[in-house]
Chain A
Amino acid sequence: MTLKNQYLLLVLGFLLLLKFVWVPVQEWQSESILEIELKTKQLNKMRLMLGASDQISEADAKTQALLEEAKSAIPTTSNVEEFKLSMQQIVEAFAKDKGLRVQRYSWSPSNQAMQGVIKEILELRLSGSMQDLIAFQNEIEMQNQLINTEHLNINVTKSKSGKPSRFRGVVRIGFYAEVQS
């Protein structure tokens, strides 16, 4: 074999090494570098998260407490009709207690206040003294439960003594409840 042929063989060997060893290994190394960068970032995030785990737990506890407080304003029910009945009984009891006369009541169709929470509206036709109405409203709105006066439409008639004592009108009250399936 001549020297020239040996050189050519060397070059061929070198090129084959490049093609089948160097290039694949370099490609593997490039992929490894990318993977290392990604994993380093992931690890840094994990370390940050571990460092802040106490604050995260504390924030979670606070948020959960706030959520529970917020949820406590909205009763939970699995039976809407039972809920409506109990609310109606409460309202009737308040009205009776305050000396108001309930001439008629009716329920409007249910509304979805938000996901999982319904709003039931009770319409009452009432009459009585203005003072009793205010006391009744105060009683309703002092409840911790979320109850909204949706609508109030009253006509006031002045008594002979000169004070606006009597009314007749309609009150719509909204009750909110979380429905459990």
Chain B
Amino acid sequence: MRNLTSKFNELLIHFTGVYTQSSKRTSKILVVPSTHYVHKQKTLVQASNKDIKNLIAIESKSLKPKAFVTTDIVKNGEACTINFYAFDAEWVIEHAQKALFLVPESWIISFAMSARTVLGIEEMFIANTDKGVSSIQKSPLMSSAYLFAESNGIAPDNVVVSDLGIEYWVYEGMKNVPVRRLLGMFNPSIQSALYEYDYRPAIVCSALVLGVYLGLSSLFYYWKLQSLNEEITTLTPQLSNAFSSANSTEMASSSLERYQSLLNTRMFTVPIWLALKPIYEANAKLTFVRYLVDGSFTVAIEAESASGIINQLSEVETIDSVTLIGDVQRLKSKEKFQVSIKLAGNKQI
């Protein structure tokens, strides 16, 4: 017995009226006493899987919210019997926070005992009748297994008296349960119920939302960059002509500017001879002409009146300025002087 128990050290067993093992909050399988669950049975004569699913969904909803619901589906040809077990959530959480399988005591014992038998163990008697499993604690009034068998309509031949504890019979039941039916007792919702009021779901949700945001925004930026790169790559060859034209224009403009500045230095000296026409008309004598690269002419003149000549020269349209240079020398009836002349513009005639 000790060996059997040690093998099931993760198994927490409560049995109606009998507390067989101290509470282990890490137990994965919890045998729940009948005082802490409600059993409901539904039978479908002709049931498809869809009907069964719908029925489970409806019944589970009606049995919640303060219960963990497990189901045991028994198929017999086309007919189907569904057992719903609604467990007291508070009691379950109090006794086994890590429990994944919630096993009703009557259900597991039914697998340990043959039909229509009575089991007498140390503390109690258990009867497996057509109506289900029932148990009673030993007492002075009910001290014999045979009496209990008779009260349940079971023949004395079908009484099994054992000195083994309830753990052994639970273990026997576990061995006989088909895996598919045991899976029906699987109930992971205990964990989520435990954390109903903690912050983990909020954290998980926030992380999820942030993750989705991060992923989507990153995808968007990646897509945007890629599309921009693609567009730039597409436009670049088309732009090469425009760029070469622009570069060519820029270089040509720069060269043109330099050439034009050089061409603008071109000076014309011929216009001075037309501008000096008043000197000839006044019968004056031109003795010296000098032209400098700055565009000014220095002219030495012998005339009757220096001021008259200067006035006449000033009135010539093509002359911009006339400046007397140095002294005016008087030579008998003539005046000898020099003027600096600047032509207006420097136009070729």
Does any Cβ of A come within 8 Å of B53's Cβ?
Answer: no
* Stretch from A46-54, A77-85, A90-98, A102-110 contacting the other chain: A46-54
CB-based contact A156/B288 at 8 Å = yes
CB-based contact A67/B280 at 8 Å = no
Query: A66: which B residues are within 8 A, CB to CB?
Result: 252, 256
Residue among A10, A50, A59, A156 making CB contact with B287, cutoff 8 Å: A156
Interface centre among B199, B236, B249, B267, by most A CB within 10 Å? B249
Does any Cβ of A come within 8 Å of B268's Cβ?
Answer: yes
Does any Cβ of A come within 8 Å of B228's Cβ?
Answer: yes
Residue among B203, B207, B249 making CB contact with A59, cutoff 8 Å: B249
Given that A3-B198, A10-B203, A158-B285 are contacting pairs, would A150 and B293 also be in contact in the complex, using a CB cutoff of 8 Å?
A: yes
Cα of A50 to Cα of B240 in the assembled complex, Å: 10
Does any Cβ of A come within 8 Å of B275's Cβ?
Answer: no
Cα of A168 to Cα of B236 in the assembled complex, Å: 68
Closest to A49 in B: B242
CB within 8 Å of A: which B183-236 residues: 198-200, 203, 207, 210, 214, 217-218, 221-222, 224-225, 228-229, 231-232, 235-236
Question: Chain A residues in contact with chain B, CB under 8 A?
Answer: 3, 6-7, 10, 14, 17, 21-22, 25-26, 28-29, 32-33, 35-36, 39-40, 42-43, 46-47, 49-50, 52-53, 56-57, 59-60, 63-64, 66-67, 70-71, 73-74, 113-115, 117, 134, 137-138, 141-142, 146, 148-156, 158, 162, 164, 169, 176
Question: Chain B residues in contact with chain A, CB under 8 A?
Answer: 198-200, 203, 207, 210, 214, 217-218, 221-222, 224-225, 228-229, 231-232, 235-236, 238-239, 241-243, 245-246, 248-249, 252-253, 255-256, 258-263, 265-270, 273, 280, 283, 285-293, 348
